[in-house]
Every structure is written in C-alpha cells, then in structure tokens.
Structure 1
Amino acid sequence: MIGDKARRALSACALTAALCAGTAVTPAGAASQNTVPVRMIAFGDLHGNLLPPQGSRSEVVRSDGASVAAGGVAHLAAYVRQLRGQAEHSMLYAVGDTWGSSPLESAMFHDEPTIELLNNLDVTAAALGNHELDNGYEELQRLRDGGCHPDEGCRYSETFEGARFPLLAANLTRADGAPAALPFSVNYADGIPVGVIGVLPSNTPEFIRSDAIAGLNFGDEIEAVDRTADILDSLGVRAIVLLYKGDIGTGGESNPCNPADGPANVVATTVSPKVDLIVTSDGDKHFNCTYPDPLGRPRAVVQGASHGRIISVADLMIDRETRDVQRDHTVTFTQVITHDIEPDPETQEFVARAVELSDEVAGRRVGSAADDITREPGPSGESALGNLVADAQLAAARSAGAQVALTNPGGLRSDLMCGENGMVTYGQTYAAQPFGNRLQVLELTGAQLDELLEQQFQTTATGAPLEWILAPSYNFRYTLDRIAPRGERIRDITIDGEEIDPDQHYRVVVNDFLAEGGDGFDVFTQARHRTGAGEELDALNAYFATQDPVAPPSTDRIHMH
C-alpha cells in the first residue's frame, strides 16, 4: 500500500494520481526564450557511506590519470550545492542502493541517518535498488513514510519523519499486481514538466534473501520503462529521464562505451525513444557514453561511481513549445568528489553527530591483523578477505559438523585496514560483513560440489560471460581451467588433502543468501540437510578474538591450470 505521505502527494496532482508538481532548477549557460535548460545531478550505490570509503575504494583515478582521495557526503554535498548553484533549475537523483549494507554510523540506526541526509540535500527522487529491500518491504515502507522502528524504537532521533522524496520502481509489484512503489514522478522547470522513471533489474531476487522480498514481483524492466514512458507522454510529459539501478555492461576500460563488449544495448539502445537520458548505477565503474535509441537518435547514458566518489551530471535543453529535450544540446560529464573542496559545514556537522552516536560500538576492539586484509582478487579470483571469512565461518560451524566453507565475493563489502598496532574494530568487521546473514551447514554430495563449482561460470541474460569465484576455506582445494569447455573447468577437488568421492556427502557451511541459491548457485538448494550455525559477523569477530593477531591468508587455494 502506498504510504500516507505519498498518498497526500498524489492527491494533490491535477493531471493524474501520479503526476506531481515540484520545484527544480536550470543549468548555467545561455538559453533562448524558446528553451529551458535543466541540470540533472545523480549519485548511485551510496550504501549509507557518510564517511569517505576506506581501503581499495578510498581513491579514484581522474581523467588526467591522477589518483585522488574521493567520497564522503560532506564533500559530496559541497559539490552538489556548487553544481546546483551554477544553475537556475536543477534536479538531484539517487540511483538505487542508496542505503543497505551500510557502515555502522548509518546501519546502527536502521539507515535513518542516510534518509535524513537525502532530505537535507533536497533529493528530487530516488530509484530503488536491491539493497533498499535488505530488511524487507515493511521496513522500506517505514523508511519512506516515517515512524520509529517497531523493535528498537527511535535510536537516532526522538522521532523519524521518513523520506521527503518519492521512491521509484516501475517494475516492482505486489503479488496481486498492485504497484509496490511509484513508477515515476514529475517535477517542473519554469513550468515545463520533467518526468523521471525508476526501475531495477528483473533478476533482483537473485541478490536478495527470499524472505526479504516475499510477496513482491520484479517485472521486465524494459517493458516497465516503455509502459511508463507511454503514460508520461499521454500526460504531456515529453522530457523523460530513466534511473536504472543495474549493470548495463559497457565495454572494458580501454573502450567503456563499446556495447559489443557487453549487454549495453539491451537497455541503452532498446528502451523507449521517449526516454531522453539514462542514468545508471552499479558499483565502481563510471562512464559517459552515447548510444542510438530505437529510432537511431543519440541518447546519453551516464554513470558515476559507488560510495559517493563520482557523481553524474547532465545539462539538458528543453524546447518550450514541444516540451521535449533537444538532444543535440545535451552535455554530460562525471564529477569526481575530491577533497580539494571545502566540505559542506552543515553536512559535516551532521556526519560528526552520527559518528559520535555510533562511536562506542564501532570503536570496540575485536582483535588485530598483521597487515591489511583486502577484497582485491588474485588471478584465481580468490581474495585474502574472502579466504579469511571462509576460514572464520568454518571455525564457527565446526560444532555443527561443517567440513568446509565457501563464501561469495558479493558478501564482502569493505576491506579490513588495520589501525594502530594492527587493531581491528567492530566497525571495520561490520563494514566488511554488514548483511546480518546467518550461517547454514548444508549436506551435498561430491558430485554436487563439483557441479556447484562449475556454477561459478555463468552468463548474463544477453550471453555475456559472468564469473563468481567463491572463496574456499583453507582445507578446500581444486584446479581451475578457464579455457576448458563449460562444465569441465573444475577438477582435482580435495578436502583436507583427500580427493572427494562423488557419492559421499560433505557438510559445507555458507551464508543463508547462498543457501537459498543466491548469485545463481542453485545447487545449494538441493542440499539434503540444513543446520543453522549462528551469524556470519559473529563468526568473523570470534575468529579475530581467538586467532589474534590474524595474518592475511594466502590466495593459492585454487590451482590455476
């Protein structure tokens, strides 16, 4: 059901229950009396990172090749205010995964600080990603509509008012077909309506625990965009922006705008030509590209980088008479959120308060490390942090009969950068494993283990190769041959030095996301038995406590052929 605040906003709309008026701004630069310039600013994959990210995400490479420190919402806010100040009309969008798997200074308060930050930034609209649903649809509704947490109350402030901006997902519905979020919103620039559509990938259920999205359906994103664009057009809204929380798969670093190297044309060249600008968001990649729409007209596709490090900017020129975007006048660029600008003082004070409130818990020592332990993958796809987490989970689940452990790279959210005297804090381990996943011990045959490891090599919906290398515990080893035919890339699997028997059952501990077939590993769902073994974060903290100091594990458990 649509919340009270959203319902009040919809009831005020004159044209339709979903057409809403608002204020916006126009980019700097000359405009004739017949045009209205509008600046679009967007960030994605913020993940509640109020502070600058640490580890491998702490720096980005600028266009001039220089590596610079980037991120942190105090600096992001400063750039946003600067960019909006250069324009008479502007709109600010969040493109999915704005919260969820957040660091402790936001997550400890159920991400209410991140919602408050977006309110303070005057965000125009936010598209949903999969992580906004990490804690279920009811919690998403609470964050949207306001009210204290049902179990822990209001811990961050005395009250919580919820989001002052619409949450968009045109392809998200309930089991009965009713919308689970607004499909679009409309704001005005000097009387000209500008519509924005939000969608998330139809395969989103592969990346969320099933209990968090029970009763929700994720429809085809392209079909949803086309349908919604037709509705906006019928209402006289001709200038349309798409916010897409997903990977459109642009080419490699040498030519990031080459659609032949990935499934970019599925979204960028296929969705309705009524869409004038596409803003995407997915992880660390950033690009500024142009692709032909289905009518052959050029259309900009732009993406910043995660954790508030790079934002997307598009200056559009809208014809007053047709109310459509003059695409040949569109200018797009990405802005690195460097630290060579004064941080926004109001936001800086806001962040300091959130850090102070969470500091006692976040700063608690859990152990020490002999060196930094990172998520950086080696040639085999293993990382030191992934192998450490697998070792910790095996140690925690031994009492439940576990013989080996496997963990997914997507479950590792932050590097562990040891501090003074190698100290590792609760805040750091939480940032590395923030999902609250529980551990499950599953019984699989040796043949199923072989089949499972072959599932590390997958393809996207358009046939592009996709690789998910699971981190193995220290006693689980095998040979990997990437150039062998599909289904024959794994061999010589051993547990504790003994070759596995295809017919024998083995007990494997994994997080419950994998146990439910997440990331395409559906062999886990065929397990004969399933036994709970505690929470993954508790396992990691216990490992630090008992192994203090912890050395970064080697990444040679998978032998490369």
Structure 2
Amino acid sequence: MTSSRSFLRVALAGAVASGAVLLATLPADASKAARTVPVRLLSLNDFHGNLEPPTGSSGRMVDEHGHTVDAGGAAYVATHMKALTDGNTIAVAQGDLIGATPLISAAYHDEPSIEFLDKLGLKVAAVGNHEFDEGYAELRRIMDGGCHPVDGCSPAGPWKGAKFDYVGANVLFKNPHEKTDALAALGGSKSPEVKKVLADWGVPALPPVSVKWMNGVPIGFIGLVTKTTPNIVGSEGIKDLKFVDEVKAANVASKLLKLVGVKAQVVLVHEGDQVNAGQSPDACAAVPGAGNRIATQVDAEIDMVLSGHSHQAYLCQVKDPAGNDRLYSQGGSFGRVITQIDMRVNVRTRDIDRASVVADNHVVTRTVAADPEISAFVQTWKERVASVANKAIGTITADITNTAAPSGESPLGNLIADAQLAAARTGGNAQIALMNPGGVRASLTYASSPANEGDGVVTYGEAFVVQPFNNLVQVVTLTGAQLKTVLEQQFPGGPNNQAFPKILQPSANFTYTYSRSAAWGSKVSDMKIDGVPVTDTQAIRVSANNFLVGGGDAFPAFLDGTDLWSGPLDIDAFAAHLGGNSPVAPPATDRITVAP
C-alpha cells in the first residue's frame, strides 16, 4: 500500500536539530525485513491534454517491433496503466501535461485533463514549460483549486485542485520577499542544515521535491523544467519568476532530500533530447544534447533521470559523475507511451539498487478495450464542448499544411500571418505581420473530420488545434533597422543564442531575402513592404502575437518595440479571416527568397 506525504511533511516527521532524520522512524523489526523491497514507477510525459485519441502523425508510434501503430487516447492510457499497475506502483510524470491542448480540455482551462490524471492515480509531476502558458497564478489555481477568475466555474462545478504534487526545484521567485509556501511545505523543519540550504538557494515558487512512501521506504522525486522556459512562454505571467540551471537546482534538491534521510532519488525533468528517427521506443536512440547534459551532470546521489519536452522515446544508461550507471529515459508524447521502471530498494540503507533497475517503454496501443469509466468521462466533456467545437467558421479548397518549404515558410503559417495583419490593421495600424512557426501546431485538412461537417469545412475546433494558446494579436512600432535585427535573430550565431533556424512566417505584403552563407548580422537583405524597400530609419507597425512581442522564442529584439497595441485573440483573428475569405486556398510560400 502506498502512503503519500509531501516533502515538507516528511521533513517535519523526520527532521531533528542534529540533522539525523527518518532513520529514527525505522520499524523495530527492520533487521528481520527483506533486504530489498520492490518499487515500480509508471511515467507519462507531454500529455498535452490529449483526452481523445490524437490524430495524424501525433497518433502513431513506432513499436518495439518496428511497426507503426495507432497509439494514445485517455481511455487507452487508463487500460494500459491498470494492466501495468501492481501493489508497488507510483505513477509520475515529466511535465507539459496541460497547455497547447485540444479544445476539449483547453475550453475549461485544462481542468478536465488534470481530473483525468487524478483518476489515473498520478502522484507527482514535474512542471513543464506549458504549465506556465497561462501564467504562474493560473498554475497555482490548477494546483490548489478555485474557479477561474474570468471564466468562472466549469460545468463540473468548483475546481478542487490537483490531487497529485506538482514540483519544480529550479523555479524561484525573483524577489526574495515574495510569499512562498516552501518553508511551510517543509513542515516548519527546525533542522539548521535544511534552513541553511534554503536560505542560500533562494525562495522556491513551487515545492522542489515530493516524497512518496512505498513498502516502508521513501522515494524522493525532484522536479525540474527546462531553463529556457522564459524564451518559450509569455513573459507577463512569469515576470516574478526566474528559471535557474537544472543541474544546480537538482543538486540542491538532492542535498535537501539527503538531509532528511531520503536516499532513493529520482529526477523528473522537462528537458530532453532528439532521436534518430524510426527507432524502437526501447532503444537508446537519443542524440546527446540538453537532456543528456542534465542526466550525466546531476549529483551522483540521484539514481535515475526521467525526461520530457522533446516528445521522443528512448531508454538509455548514462554515467553519473561518480562513473556509475543510471537510467535516462523519455516516453514520447500525447499519451502514446508509458514508461515502466522496476527496481528494488534496500530496506536498511533506503537506497535504490541500480543493478536491479529494469525499464520498458510500453506503446499505448488501441487494440485493447478502452477503459469504460474514462471513455464516459471523455464523452461527457466532448458533449459539453461540442456546440463550440463543431461550429463551421469557413472553408478551404485543399489541405493547408504547416510543413515548411525550403525557405522556412509554410502555407498555414503564411495564412495565419495574413489573418493577424487583417485583424490588426484597424486600431493597431499594422503594416506587416510575423508569426512564429512553433505556434502553428497542426495542419488544416480538406477531408471531413469524424464530426461529419463536410469536406473543406473548417470548424472552430479544428482551427483551435492549429492555434491553441489564446495569445493576443498585438502591434508594436519597430524601425527598419530593428526589424532587420528581428529577422537576423531567426538564425544561429547571434547574441540571442538561437540554436537552429526559426523562420518567422511573413504576411503576403512583406518580402525579403536571406543568405545561407552570410555571417550573422548580414544574412537579411532586400526587405520590402508592398513592394517598397524598407529603410533603416522608417517606423513600421509590426503585428505579432503577445508571445513574440514579449521576446519569446529567442527574439528579444521585439522588446525594442514601442507604442504597444493589443487586439483580439489569435484564434478569433484566424476564425474571422477564414470566415471572411472563404473558400481559402493554400497560400504560396514565395514571400522569402533564399540566396546562397
């Protein structure tokens, strides 16, 4: 039987002034107990609110035999989880459980997804960057309960908060005087060692760890989110937070756990690596990158690193700083893979026997029976949102994809830029628009969906899948020189540390050329608006979503903009453009010219 205790309660129960903690709570017959006890972890990452089975490539997965199979969907996740769960199981997750979600979840601020995860038996999860999409205050509401401050209660009634623990050791308040529940969560521990570590570290904005008891031994979970979070979420909602280096934070959290006697330590980190395509989910196909850095550099006391963020599946053994093996894994995304980890924990030392660790990535196939309770749960929310989701908003003549052309443009990205320019001309006096490619989450398909709206008909739900963030369309004034800097920041090599080309999608009236071989700072040339060359000194009203205007996606030059104007939500601008211009054909991808 599992008993769950927060890190703070564990500290309170076991901490003493001398720092010798938890060992005093060993049962009297510990010497007669089995030398090791079994513990099983079942983990998910990057669920992104996919209560219904995801479609297209997002709903397929290469299995252990090299076959591509349909995978994912909450009712199937539940069936597989129940089959894999035994009396020794703790369910965990590595972030992005919510945010960038389908309308069935997003329409109610992802409360349905959190309720599903509670039903699944989730016990602890790291925060991901998308947990901050609506800001820190909204994340705390999701954690603690209460109805949405603007939209009120959902049809299910007052929100009671997540039953599982969200943890994030590297999320700190910028202002050390901010209100925090960190010390309260530590149970008011009087341990001077614990107090000193926290005082030296800073003020956590979230609980840094969670401890779960299984078979008489405590397992400590350290939560981490990618330190790049400020570059990939809206700035306003996290303005009071700082996201520090993952390795440094993990090592502080590991020290805290060790001080309260928790030696079995697991990192849940929302950062990961890419893989060589087409590999088995059980292969170590990860190409070493940001995730591998964390997995190899965090303190040797940490026994395993379970990752997320990159939406890949892999099982690797890496070396810790002491030269010992430890597990480094990830389980795909969208509920398509469950990672099972079996291990044994020494009852006397309370540490994980790493030689006993066995991991397996299970593909969540749809060939099993869907869980009836979860099927009914999903259907209830589907019916609640149907009147909005199935409303026709326009028509298209063919598929409009988010697949990039050689220039980096995509037909759908260009269409969204056109929509945002149209929405921002009146009021914002926009002259051009730019759209970040990462905000275009799916393609629009010509064929009718299962809702039978008809071929070529675009519903609000389909449009929402394309743009699920509820960003605002904004306009700022940039000089021609500042606009050129924004475009230079699309490429690696500059001070913004862009890791790879990230081509902004331009509105139809804005054209320019970039050179593949030119040095950073000299890559962009021949900028024109409505065919007229842009000068360095002219003032240009540039429309973009508030994420970009806030410097997101490593485009800090947007922060130099002046005379900010805010308009409609991006999804509303997109819906209005489709409705006012139907039938819409796929735009050409000829707005950017690529030179050698």
TM-score, scaled relative to structure 1: 0.90
Q: Could you say which residue in structure 2 is the equivalent of 1:408?
A: 436
Aligned to 2:71: 70
- Within a 5 Å distance, the mapping from 1:166-185 to structure 2 comes to 166-174=165-173, 175-176=175-176, 177-185=202-210
Q: Secondary structure at the match of 1:468?
A: coil
Q: CA–CA distance in 2 between the matches of 1:497 and 1:55? A: 39
Pick one of 201, 213, 221 that aligns with 2:226: 201
User: Is the contact between residue 251 and residue 262 of structure 1 (CA under 8 Å) also seen in structure 2?
Assistant: no
For the residues of structure 2 that align with 1:379 and 1:342, how far apart are their CA atoms? 43
Amino acid at match of 1:238: K
The residue matched to 1:47 in structure 2 has which SS?
A: coil
What is aligned with 1:285? 312
* Cα deviation code 1:413-440 (max 9, x no counterpart): 2332342221111111122212221111
Assess, with a 3 A threshold, how the Cα gap between structure 1 residues 491 and 351 changes in structure 2: closer, same or farther: same
What's 2:479 paired with? Answer: 445
Structure 1 SS opposite 2:355: helix
3-state DSSP of counterpart to 2:500 = strand
- Output the CA distance in 1 between the equivalents of 2:217 and 2:496: 37
Rounded to whole Å, the distance in 2 between the matches of 1:325 and 1:430 is 45
Q: Which amino acid aligns with 1:70?
A: A
TM-aligned CA distance change 1:185 to 1:8, over 3 Å: closer
CA distance in 2, matches of 1:74, 1:321: 40
In structure 2, C-alpha distance between the alignment counterparts of 1:260 and 1:12, rounded to whole Å: 38
Q: Deviations over 1:351-407 (max 9, x none)?
A: 000101111111111111222323222333222221111111112122232221111
- Specify the code of the residue in structure 1 equivalent to 2:333: S
Matches within 5 A, 1:140-539: 140-174=139-173, 175-176=175-176, 177-247=202-272, 249-250=273-274, 252-253=276-277, 262-399=289-426, 400-418=428-446, 419=448, 420-458=454-492, 465-539=499-573
Please say which of residues 116-125 and 249-258 is displaced more in the overlay: 249-258
Q: 1:549 to 1:64 in 2, by over 3 A?
A: farther
Q: Unaligned 5+ residue runs, structure 1? A: 21-31
Query: Structure 2: where are the runs of 5+ without partners?
Result: 23-32, 177-201, 449-453
Structure 1 distance, partners of 2:81, 2:423, is 45
Deviations 1:529-557 (A, max 9, x none): 32223221111001110111122223332
Amino acid at match of 2:524: I
Deviations 1:199-233 (A, max 9, x none): 11223122222221132232222111101111212
- State the secondary structure of the residue aligned to 1:478: strand
User: What residue number does 1:29 align with?
Assistant: none
CA distance in 1, matches of 2:321, 2:231: 29
Aligned residue identity for 1:241: V
Q: Tell me the number of residue pairs that the alignment of Structure 1 and Structure 2 aligns.
A: 542
| TM-aligned CA deviation for residue 510 of structure 1 | 0.5
What is the distance in 2 between the residues matched to 1:312 and 1:7? 23
Q: For each residue in 1:246-280, what CA deviation from the matched residue of structure 2 results, as whole angstroms up to 9, or x when unmatched?
A: 23x35644899588753444211111111111111
Alignment partner of 2:352: what SS? coil
Deviates more, 1:370-379 or 1:437-446: 370-379
- C-alpha change, 1:341 and 1:150, in structure 2 (3 Å) is same
Structure 1's 160 and 265: CA in aligned 2 closer, same or farther, altered over 3 A? closer
**Aligned position for 1:26:** none
Partner of 2:128: 129
**Cα distance, 1:295 vs structure 2:** 0.8
The C-alpha deviation readout for 1:128-181, integer Å capped at 9, x for no partner, is 112222222222222212222233332231332211111101122232243221
Per-residue deviation, 1:336: 1.7
Tell me whether 111-120 or 551-560 shows the greater mean CA deviation. 551-560
Distance change (3 Å), C-alpha of 1:259 and 1:342: closer
> CA 1:459/1:270 → structure 2, altered by over 3 Å: closer, same or farther?
farther
Match of 1:557 in 2: 591
Which amino acid in structure 2 is aligned with residue 424 of structure 1?
V
Percent of residue pairs bearing the same amino acid type: 40
Matches within 5 A, 1:52-91: 52-84=53-85, 87-91=86-90
Over 3 Å counting, the alpha-carbon distance change for 1:71 and 1:378 in structure 2 is farther
Matches of 2:459 and 2:287 in 1, distance apart? 44
Q: Is the contact made by 1:459 and 1:466 (CA closer than 8 Å) also made in structure 2?
A: no
Aligned-partner Cα distance in 1 for 2:205–2:397: 48
CA gap of 1:276–1:341, structure 2 versus 1, over 3 A, is same
SS at match of 2:315: strand
Partner SS, residue 14 of structure 1: helix
Q: Is the 8 A contact 1:54 1:417 kept in 2?
A: no
User: What SS does structure 2 have at the residue aligned with 1:371?
Assistant: coil
Q: Within 1, Cα distance between the matches of 2:477 and 2:62?
A: 45
In structure 2, the residue matched to 1:43 is 44
Distance in structure 1 (CA, Å) of the matches to 2:7 and 2:349: 30
Find the residue that maps to 1:180 and give its secondary structure.
Answer: coil
Inter-partner Cα distance in structure 1 for 2:424 and 2:141? 35
SS in structure 2 of the partner of residue 138 of structure 1: helix
TM-score, length basis structure 2:
0.85
- Mapped partners of 1:548, 1:291: distance in 2: 54
CA gap 1:375/1:260 in 2 versus in 1, 3 angstroms: closer
Call closer, same or farther: CA 1:64–1:479 in 2, change over 3 Å. farther
- State the distance in 1 between where 2:494 and 2:73 align: 32
1:20-76 superposed Cα distances (whole Å, 9 cap, x missing partner): 9xxxxxxxxxxx942222221111111212112234413223343322222111111
CA distance in 1, matches of 2:62, 2:527: 40
Q: Name the stretch that deviates more: 510-519 or 38-47.
A: 38-47
